[in-house]
Structure 1
Amino acid sequence: MLSTAAIVSACSDDDTPTNTTINNPLANPEDGPPAGNPDGKYPIPMEAGLADITNPDQVIGNGTPESCTGQLVVEAIAQGGKIVFNCGEEPLTIILPETAKIFNDANNEVVIDGGGLITLSGGGVRRILYMNTCDPDQNWTTSHCQDQDHPRLTVQNITFANGNSSSETEYTGGGAIWARGGQLKVVNCRFFNNICASTGPDLGGGAIRVFDQYQDRPVYVVNSTFGGAEGYGNSGSNGGAISSIGVSWTIINSLFSHNSAVGNGGNPAEAGTPGGGSGGAIYNDGNEMTLRILGSIIEENEVNAYGAAIFFVSNNHTGNIVIDQSIIRNNKGGSWYPVYPDISMHEDTDISVTDSEIVD
């Protein structure tokens, strides 16, 4: 089944495109699928582009792979600021000895730039990166922790691999990144083989789990890949790649493939089941939120319950979806597709599709 529709524009006045391309340093086929949709040509707003790292605050390494240890990465991220790597000219995987945690009072801006060579790994046993403005252990800085403008976290030109948050019991989901409060932006990144807990309703985000962004601003995901080929996919109970509650997303020129929602029973969980299994690539739940898929591909993802590609539920029916210059195809499993195949949503959800293909 092929579905198409038309809208005038996918950008609001505040999203006026100011640059159209981002260089892709992650294109070595021996190092996994490259970052982003290779055919994505959607204009990128200035605020969604790469952060300036001309004058970094911290440089990890002295030019050799041996000088770039996981402990140095953990310590640098705790201090915040603009962080770059000097680990040699070849790709390098750094396994973290513990989850790298951002402290809310260390630096208002945190940029982690891997220069197209660095992979941060959880070693298959731990989450990689954690930010939570409402976690007292990370130091509260305001009386409204759920709506503050910092830390502003950008991850760019870097790969996150083999993160695992399955053992987390309080801040669940987000095998690679868990973020609440402040602002999160993802540019030129890859996410390979990250996992979170495999069952449970409203739990997920094999790669990324997000709550409460400042002033309900969107999480930008630009020129990034989640999975990208067989053997590289991310998985979790819901939202094989990304999952959120009450958060808007703007996803530009990105690729989601071979991710899986492996839970069973949906949300709320059916009797006799543990729950989960919705949103092969994306699980978006909440109220006033917008999901924008622009210049992107979502394909070959899989679910056990609902939304082979996208699960989008606005509890008070105020949320909306915008899909432009994108392809959604060949996703597997699921049901409850009232309007478009592979997208589970309320029948009255406001959805606009232009210059796109949605193929069952």
Structure 2
Amino acid sequence: MIGKGTPAGCTSKAVVAAVAAGGIITFDCGPAPVTITMSATAKVRNTSTRVVLDGGGLVTLSGGGKRRILYQNTCDKAQVWTTSHCDDQQYPQLVVQNLTFADGNSTGDDTEGGGGGAIFARGGQLKVYNAKFVRNRCDRTGPDLGGAAIRALDQWGDRPVYVTRSTFGGAKGQGGVCANGGALSSIGVSWVVLNSLFSHNDAVGRGANPAKAGTPGGGSGGAIYLDGNTFTLRLAGTIIQDNHANEGGGAVFFVSNDRTGTMSIEDSTLRRNPSDGFETYPGIFFLGARKPSVTGSTLR
């Protein structure tokens, strides 16, 4: 438990210590909404089996525009290297729920290639439930980094990252901004996104991937940027609207390099997601095993 009934006990130091200790973390900061501005990034220790961070719908964790908010990396020896196969281990299992992540910024942090302004998660498993991500940032240039809100790598057993009932942006001026993936980004990671909203996120790099001559690269996946070999994306009950990419995929950039990846869109709406450079479907640039499966959905 973080706090003792008032905002005074709900500090960055307390969050950092609780995340390092692991387990189920809840907040008791009083009855009113509270914002905790992080003076350091909270880092998951790889000795933890499960870390559940539950804000109870009242807590905002803020990076203050200066730093990433939450970090997990099973291949980072500073967080304890617990196996000989750090790129594919079951734990830690990280769950974030009923929380707002605001003003995270990983600009200039090139750990594992950079990205993940609010959350960076490599290894173990990540699940996001009923969370909101606003005004997060990562580097504005680069051909393959991304994820102003979340950057994910190497999930255990190729299990997907689950995102449920969550909002990324939501209003003008509230979206994420990064070279690629104004909300989500990954390499070789599958995603299941359910009943969520992505709006006003922006991929601001220029030159795509690989970067065109004379450019720094990036600019793809206004909301979602996915690259790698075999991975999947399932969107269900989700709205993706008013996002933008300087290059490809104003809503979604999906490139399966070996053409084995698949994408499905169910009962979802994708609209007004301009791609200034290129797209294969409205708001989508897709290269995979076959055409995306689209059922009960609107793409325009």
- Work out whether the TM-score is over 0.5: yes
**Equivalence for 2:219:** 277
1:348 Cα deviation after fit: 5.4
Aligned-partner Cα distance in 2 for 1:291–1:81: 29
1:66 Cα deviation after fit: 1.0
Show CA shifts across 1:196-243 (max 9, x none). Answer: 000001011011000000000000000000000011100100000010
Show CA shifts across 1:61-97 (max 9, x none). Answer: 0000111111111111011100000000111000111
With CA pairs under 8 Å and 6+ residues apart, which has the higher RCO, 1 or 2? Answer: 1
1:333 Cα deviation after fit: 2.8
1:350 Cα deviation after fit: 3.8
Aligned-partner Cα distance in 1 for 2:136–2:172: 14
Tell whether the 8 Å contact from 2:260 to 2:288 is kept in structure 1 after alignment. Answer: no
Counterpart residue type for residue 54 of structure 2: D
2:21 aligned with 1:72, yes or no? no
Aligned-partner Cα distance in 2 for 1:307–1:103: 35
Supply the RMSD in Å over aligned alpha carbons: 0.9
**Equivalence for 2:44:** 102
Count how many residue pairs are aligned between Structure 1 and Structure 2: 299
1:347 Cα deviation after fit: 7.1
**Equivalence for 1:358:** 299
**Equivalence for 1:181:** 123
1:341 Cα deviation after fit: 1.0
Provide structure 2 residue ranges, at least 5 long, that are not aligned to the other structure. Answer: none
Aligned-partner Cα distance in 2 for 1:158–1:257: 18
Counterpart residue type for residue 135 of structure 1: D
Show CA shifts across 1:277-315 (max 9, x none). Answer: 000000010111110000000000011110010000000
- Out of 279, 282, 287, the residue aligned to residue 337 of structure 1 is 279
Tell whether the 8 Å contact from 1:149 to 1:182 is kept in structure 2 after alignment. Answer: yes
**Equivalence for 1:198:** 140
**Equivalence for 1:244:** 186
1:174 Cα deviation after fit: 0.3
**Equivalence for 2:58:** 117
- Out of 24, 28, 32, the residue aligned to residue 86 of structure 1 is 28
Query: Aligned residues: percent identity?
Result: 60
**Equivalence for 1:39:** none
Aligned-partner Cα distance in 2 for 1:321–1:195: 26
**Equivalence for 1:170:** 111
Aligned-partner Cα distance in 1 for 2:84–2:58: 39
2:87 aligned with 1:146, yes or no? yes
Show CA shifts across 1:80-130 (max 9, x none). Answer: 10000000011100011100000101x200000000000000110000000
Show CA shifts across 1:120-151 (max 9, x none). Answer: 00110000000000111111111111111000
- Out of 256, 264, 272, the residue aligned to residue 198 of structure 2 is 256
2:252 aligned with 1:313, yes or no? no
Counterpart residue type for residue 222 of structure 2: G
Aligned-partner Cα distance in 2 for 1:134–1:77: 17
Aligned-partner Cα distance in 2 for 1:82–1:240: 29
Tell whether the 8 Å contact from 1:278 to 1:334 is kept in structure 2 after alignment. Answer: no
1:334 Cα deviation after fit: 2.9
Aligned-partner Cα distance in 2 for 1:220–1:322: 15
1:332 Cα deviation after fit: 2.0
Q: TM-score, normalised by structure 2?
A: 0.98
Rg larger for: 1
Aligned-partner Cα distance in 2 for 1:187–1:153: 11
Provide structure 1 residue ranges, at least 5 long, that are not aligned to the other structure. Answer: 1-58
Aligned-partner Cα distance in 1 for 2:236–2:251: 15
Aligned-partner Cα distance in 1 for 2:21–2:140: 33
